[in-house]
A and B are shown apart, each in its own frame.
Chain A
Amino acid sequence: MIEFRLNDRQTHVDAAPMASLASVLREQLALTGTKVACGEGFCGSCTILLDDQPAPACLLPVAHVAGRAVRTVEGLAPNARLSPLQQALADVDAVQCGMCFPGIVMSLTALLERTPRPTRPQVRDALVGNICRCTGYERVVSAVLQLADGGLRETGE
């Protein structure tokens, strides 16, 4: 039995220690917001926050998170309220197919927690581990910059 905090709740799972955190989240806990598009740590679609730092859940053995705090995209928008970042991305029509966005949202959430008013290069650096095949990234970057400038609504609905 492996125990860790998941989206602010104490969680126990019965899983092989080397099973990836992504597979445990998706298959045992039905948290399919964490996507696995490459399974090799290159695409970033499985990005979660481990003790507030972005990490690829596809490469993390679940035993490695024992006693630590994991946040997934499902933890960002409780009660279906979008976080300000999610709202900013929706407001600029950034989303297309959507497979990469949970990972992008996690990477950028970590960025904004550390650096509430990032520069364009900082946003681009924060996204370097997230592959998006649809959007060409520009709207994602500009949404974050507008949010940091207070140019968008503060909260979601």
Chain B
Amino acid sequence: MSSSVIGRDLPRRDAGDKLTGRTRFTIDRQAPGMLHAALRRSDVAAATLLRVDVAPALAMPGVRAVATAADAPGRYGVGVADHPLFAADVIRYHGEPIAAVAADTIEQAEAAAAAIVVETEPLEAHVTMADALAPGARELHPGWERYEELEPGGTRAGNVAWEATVVRGDLDSAMTRDDVVIVEGAYAVGRQNQASLEPRVAIATVEDGRVVVETSTQHPWAVRSGVARLLDISESLVRVVVPAVGGGFGQKFEPSVEPFVALLARKSGSPVKIALSREEEMRTALGRENAEIFIRSAVTSSGEILAREAVVLMDCGAYGGEQTFLTTMTAHTLMGNYRLGAVRLVSRAVYTNTPPTGAFRCCNGVYCTFALERHTDEICAAIDMDRWEFRRRNLIGDGDLGATGQRFEGDVLVPMLDRMVQLRGESPPRPDDGRLYGTSVAVGTWFVFVGPSSATVNLNPDGSATLITAGVELGSGSLVQSLPQIVADQLGLDPADVIVRAADTDAAGFDSGVGGGRTTVSLGAAGTAACAEVRRKLFDAAADLLEAAPHDLELADGMVGVVGTPGRRMPISEVVAHAHGTSGPISGSGAFAAPGAEAMPGCAAGHMLEALDLPVFAVHECDVAVDPATGHVEVLAYRVVQDVGRAINPRAVEGQIQGGVVQGLGYALHEEITIGGDGRIRQAGFETYRLPLAGDVVPVDAELYEGAPSCGPLGAKGAGEVPILAVGAAVACAVADAVKRPVSRLPLTPPHVLALILGRDDEVTHDHIPRSWRANVLSDPDALEAAFASRG
């Protein structure tokens, strides 16, 4: 195998077209005779839907089809199928679709959607999780017991869409020892909007009785099943194809707009396009959820963490969606990083009358790491221990147990911390300019969402190879850099001779989607397995021609050669031509599945992932200056040491780190979403939702830490998701260090920081969260503890 293409900073094959405007994203595409769709959305957060009359819309000029709940009987979701395409009897959030219209022009479609008569009777809206969890609160989903469960094991009731718990060890004895300090913290974060510049957009066409959906998605196979489920048609009647995607960041991991156009195309017989406006994207994005955390730890004076308990409330909005899965990730993040004695954790996805939330790069890992690292610094202050020293003593190493009893492999985090100290160099100067200076260190644990993948590799007559997967290029470079580099390495080709087929569910086998840092790992592993079959067939065909045993052959520079005999080799194309006359064209297929890491029995309940197959770690440091007159935070320097396993294309990974850190700086400092009492998101566009701009950012000093254990191909780990993980934590800890006050909320906007400095910040108390995990679980806490005590 040629290792010359692994670890090389090869360029992107799509850069030229993207720089010259020739790339045609879904938003740039159209089909002949294409109609345009608009949605009629709810303008209240909670109501009974009394009447929907579409007759006025059908009478409007240019209108070709109108669809409502009657046309889409199914429900979809992640843990629970609770989400209909259109509101049927009940409206659960401001902006919920009630009807969809297809017309000749977008203006006609919008006018007709507005003409639909909607009669409602208001219901009391639960806009906050405190409202939704209050005793006797109206249930958002009466009849939730009858929803189909798509994943087993979650506890559900009333406005709790999903609950996951962790029980390990004897909490009460640790908490009541007289030689421990008890440290408590309450933390709150708002939502974050993905703000991909290409909005959610899709075009559906009906061909030979099947629906072909061209869409800007991260997960073609989820769109295929979601469309079929909502329209109540066979999945085999849906084909999903994906051009270049203009950013996703997690939002496009779930089906969203595709079912509307699939339905309208079937009703009208014409191609239909839907493209959400920026206001729709701001007001109905499947954003990172707002969350509330209470955490308490018992720590000895030498810094040993004897016990930790926590309650996490995650606002899933009107429907459970990704949050039903993400309750699983609090155990590995908020309860991650450090060796813990006893553990109690309850994580709840809570229904509210707000737009549903979803997945966003590192998801709840971002705020769980914020809460954990702020809590860790509070512990350091309480026991008077240096922040780096405390972490060095407690970070998980080889053979240590994670929160759910998983045994971790390899010493990774402490060496990463050491690497950070080297990267830091000298402390930056602190001019006497009246500003307050602070530093921080933040550690984070995340994972690669491995999941099943498949790949096919065809060896072409010219000796080039075609890789066929359902992978999608979102911008991270995995489809244009790492995957062709891996296939080229396996087949001894120039990466330019590896063609990567755009995703098409009619061509590629099943895949779990581009997200969770999984593409290079899972599709890379499936591609590697496909290449193994190609190599075997190629060597069998070449053995006769080169008069050598197949196991004595190797691939390099586009040639098949005999190991150790430089002169005896021939171009792959000649071997392929020979095979065409004997065994036939050469191709291989490969598959990958999660290796299946194990937790301790009886520890975790309601978790879709009890243990991490492939953990990924990050250490961040941040230096800030805070202006006490304005509350403005300037980030002076930012450093990252990231566990990458093995970097296939180091420069591409560094590009992900710079971009991910800057997205995190937006989350930490100024991307603020607020929800009014009417349940409507107040920020309708980029005027009020303040994204990072070129003038805000710092160059990130990044070091790629290689060599940690990995089940990924060539030892790789996903590198694109993790850079954002610890940014909120690092900034918050540095600001707390600068202003000498606890930071309990993000984002740290200037008014918020000013209030902190002046001692006027609203304290985060979470009065609705009882101060013991026991009082926060739907399940019987004694039964959960008994399940752990009686573990096999």
B113 CB within 8 Å of chain A: no
7 more A-B contacts (CB under 8 A) besides A133-B195, A138-B699?
A31-B21, A33-B20, A72-B21, A97-B197, A133-B196, A136-B662, A138-B697
Nearest-neighbour CB distance to chain A for B512, whole angstroms, equals: 21
Report how many residues on chain A are interfacial, defined by Cβ distance under 8 Å: 53
Q: List 27 A-B contacts (CB under 8 A).
A: A35-B28, A35-B198, A40-B278, A42-B685, A45-B197, A80-B20, A82-B20, A86-B19, A86-B20, A90-B16, A93-B651, A94-B655, A95-B18, A96-B247, A97-B198, A97-B475, A98-B17, A98-B18, A100-B197, A127-B693, A128-B695, A132-B197, A133-B691, A135-B655, A136-B692, A137-B693, A139-B658
Q: How far is the CA of A89 from the CA of B661 in the complex (A)?
A: 20
Let me know if B659 and A76 touch, CB within 8 A.
Answer: no
> Residues of B contacting A95 with CB < 8 Å?
12, 14-15, 18-19
Q: A35-B197, A136-B662, A138-B699 are in contact. Are A99 and B246 (CB under 8 A)?
A: yes
Secondary structure class of chain A's binding surface, majority of residues: loop
Q: How far is the CA of A133 from the CA of B19 in the complex (A)?
A: 16
Nearest-neighbour CB distance to chain A for B361, whole angstroms, equals: 11
Closest to B24 in A: A32
Let me know if B21 and A125 touch, CB within 8 A.
Answer: no
A18 CB within 8 Å of chain B: no
> Residues of B contacting A90 with CB < 8 Å?
11-12, 15-16, 19
A4 CB within 8 Å of chain B: no
A117 CB within 8 Å of chain B: no
A140 CB within 8 Å of chain B: yes
Closest to A40 in B: B685
Interface residues of A (CB under 8 A from B): 26, 31-35, 37-40, 42-43, 45, 72-74, 76-77, 80, 82, 86, 89-91, 93-102, 105, 123-125, 127-128, 130-142
Q: How far is the CA of A128 from the CA of B693 in the complex (A)?
A: 6
Closest to B699 in A: A138
> Residues of A contacting B695 with CB < 8 Å?
124-125, 127-128
Let me know if B278 and A37 touch, CB within 8 A.
Answer: yes
Nearest-neighbour CB distance to chain B for A56, whole angstroms, equals: 12
Let me know if B28 and A26 touch, CB within 8 A.
Answer: yes
Other-chain contact of A98, B11, B23, B277 (Cβ < 8 Å):
B23
9 closest pairs, A vs B, by CB? A33-B21, A97-B475, A98-B18, A136-B662, A127-B694, A96-B475, A99-B197, A99-B246, A32-B28
Closest to B651 in A: A93
Let me know if B694 and A128 touch, CB within 8 A.
Answer: yes
Q: How far is the CA of A133 from the CA of B246 in the complex (A)?
A: 10
B686 CB within 8 Å of chain A: yes
Nearest-neighbour CB distance to chain B for A131, whole angstroms, equals: 5
Q: A40-B278, A127-B694 are in contact. Are A76 and B658 (CB under 8 A)?
A: no
- The residue in B15, B19, B655, B691 that gathers the most chain A C-beta atoms within 10 A of its C-beta is B19
> Residues of B contacting A73 with CB < 8 Å?
19-21
Let me know if B198 and A99 touch, CB within 8 A.
Answer: yes
Other-chain contact of A40, B245, B476, B655, B686 (Cβ < 8 Å):
B686
Q: How far is the CA of A59 from the CA of B408 in the complex (A)?
A: 55
> Residues of A contacting B773 with CB < 8 Å?
none
Let me know if A82 and B687 touch, CB within 8 A.
Answer: no
Q: How far is the CA of A68 from the CA of B474 in the complex (A)?
A: 37
Let me know if B247 and A97 touch, CB within 8 A.
Answer: yes
Let me know if A77 and B197 touch, CB within 8 A.
Answer: no
Nearest-neighbour CB distance to chain B for A92, whole angstroms, equals: 8
Kindly supply a per-residue 1/0 record for chain B positions 311-327, scoring 1 wherever the CB is within 8 Å of any chain A CB and 0 otherwise.
Answer: 00000000000000000
Let me know if B685 and A134 touch, CB within 8 A.
Answer: no
Q: How far is the CA of A140 from the CA of B692 in the complex (A)?
A: 14
Report how many residues on chain B are interfacial, defined by Cβ distance under 8 Å: 54
B378 CB within 8 Å of chain A: no
Q: How far is the CA of A91 from the CA of B660 in the complex (A)?
A: 21
Closest to A127 in B: B694
Let me know if B699 and A32 touch, CB within 8 A.
Answer: no
Kindly supply a per-residue 1/0 record for chain B positions 182-219, scoring 1 wherever the CB is within 8 Å of any chain A CB and 0 otherwise.
Answer: 00000000000011111100000000000000000000
> Residues of A contacting B246 with CB < 8 Å?
35, 97-99
Let me know if A134 and B697 touch, CB within 8 A.
Answer: no
Let me know if A98 and B278 touch, CB within 8 A.
Answer: no
Q: How far is the CA of A24 from the CA of B453 in the complex (A)?
A: 42
B347 CB within 8 Å of chain A: no
Secondary structure class of chain B's binding surface, majority of residues: loop
Let me know if B21 and A102 touch, CB within 8 A.
Answer: yes
B9 CB within 8 Å of chain A: yes
Q: How far is the CA of A91 from the CA of B19 in the complex (A)?
A: 12
Kindly supply a per-residue 1/0 record for chain B positions 680-715, scoring 1 wherever the CB is within 8 Å of any chain A CB and 0 otherwise.
Answer: 000001110001111101011000000000000000
Nearest-neighbour CB distance to chain B for A143, whole angstroms, equals: 11
> Residues of B contacting A32 with CB < 8 Å?
21, 24, 28
Let me know if A134 and B20 touch, CB within 8 A.
Answer: no
Q: A124-B694, A133-B247, A133-B691 are in contact. Are A43 and B197 (CB under 8 A)?
A: yes
- The residue in B17, B197, B475 that gathers the most chain A C-beta atoms within 10 A of its C-beta is B197
B370 CB within 8 Å of chain A: no
Let me know if A131 and B197 touch, CB within 8 A.
Answer: yes
> Residues of A contacting B23 with CB < 8 Å?
98
B244 CB within 8 Å of chain A: yes
Q: A124-B695, A136-B661 are in contact. Are A93 and B11 (CB under 8 A)?
A: yes
Q: How far is the CA of A94 from the CA of B9 in the complex (A)?
A: 12
Q: How far is the CA of A34 from the CA of B327 in the complex (A)?
A: 41
Let me know if B20 and A98 touch, CB within 8 A.
Answer: no
Q: How far is the CA of A76 from the CA of B699 in the complex (A)?
A: 29
> Residues of B contacting A130 with CB < 8 Å?
694
> Residues of A contacting B15 with CB < 8 Å?
89-90, 93-95, 98
> Residues of B contacting A38 with CB < 8 Å?
278, 685-686
B86 CB within 8 Å of chain A: no
Q: How far is the CA of A33 from the CA of B25 in the complex (A)?
A: 10
Q: How far is the CA of A42 from the CA of B688 in the complex (A)?
A: 10
Q: How far is the CA of A123 from the CA of B693 in the complex (A)?
A: 12
> Residues of A contacting B652 with CB < 8 Å?
93
Q: How far is the CA of A130 from the CA of B691 in the complex (A)?
A: 11
Other-chain contact of B21, A34, A94, A138, A140 (Cβ < 8 Å):
A34
Other-chain contact of A39, B12, B28, B277 (Cβ < 8 Å):
B277
Closest to A26 in B: B28
Let me know if B249 and A133 touch, CB within 8 A.
Answer: yes
Q: How far is the CA of A125 from the CA of B16 in the complex (A)?
A: 25
B477 CB within 8 Å of chain A: yes
B485 CB within 8 Å of chain A: no
Let me know if B687 and A42 touch, CB within 8 A.
Answer: yes
Nearest-neighbour CB distance to chain B for A73, whole angstroms, equals: 4
Other-chain contact of A97, B17, B474, B663 (Cβ < 8 Å):
B474
Q: How far is the CA of A142 from the CA of B477 in the complex (A)?
A: 20
B760 CB within 8 Å of chain A: no
Let me know if B21 and A74 touch, CB within 8 A.
Answer: yes
Let me know if A33 and B659 touch, CB within 8 A.
Answer: no
Let me know if A133 and B20 touch, CB within 8 A.
Answer: no
Other-chain contact of A131, B19, B194, B659, B691 (Cβ < 8 Å):
B691
B146 CB within 8 Å of chain A: no
Q: How far is the CA of A140 from the CA of B687 in the complex (A)?
A: 23
> Residues of A contacting B21 with CB < 8 Å?
31-34, 72-74, 102
> Residues of B contacting A40 with CB < 8 Å?
278, 685-687
Q: How far is the CA of A99 from the CA of B14 in the complex (A)?
A: 12
Other-chain contact of B19, A37, A101, A125 (Cβ < 8 Å):
A101
> Residues of B contacting A31 with CB < 8 Å?
21
B22 CB within 8 Å of chain A: yes
Q: How far is the CA of A130 from the CA of B526 in the complex (A)?
A: 38
> Residues of A contacting B687 with CB < 8 Å?
40, 42
Let me know if B655 and A96 touch, CB within 8 A.
Answer: yes
Q: How far is the CA of A44 from the CA of B617 in the complex (A)?
A: 35
> Residues of B contacting A132 with CB < 8 Å?
197, 694
> Residues of A contacting B195 with CB < 8 Å?
131, 133
Q: How far is the CA of A37 from the CA of B247 in the complex (A)?
A: 11
Q: How far is the CA of A40 from the CA of B278 in the complex (A)?
A: 9
Nearest-neighbour CB distance to chain A for B495, whole angstroms, equals: 14
Kindly supply a per-residue 1/0 record for chain B positions 279-303, scoring 1 wherever the CB is within 8 Å of any chain A CB and 0 otherwise.
Answer: 0000000000000000000000000
Q: How far is the CA of A74 from the CA of B196 in the complex (A)?
A: 23
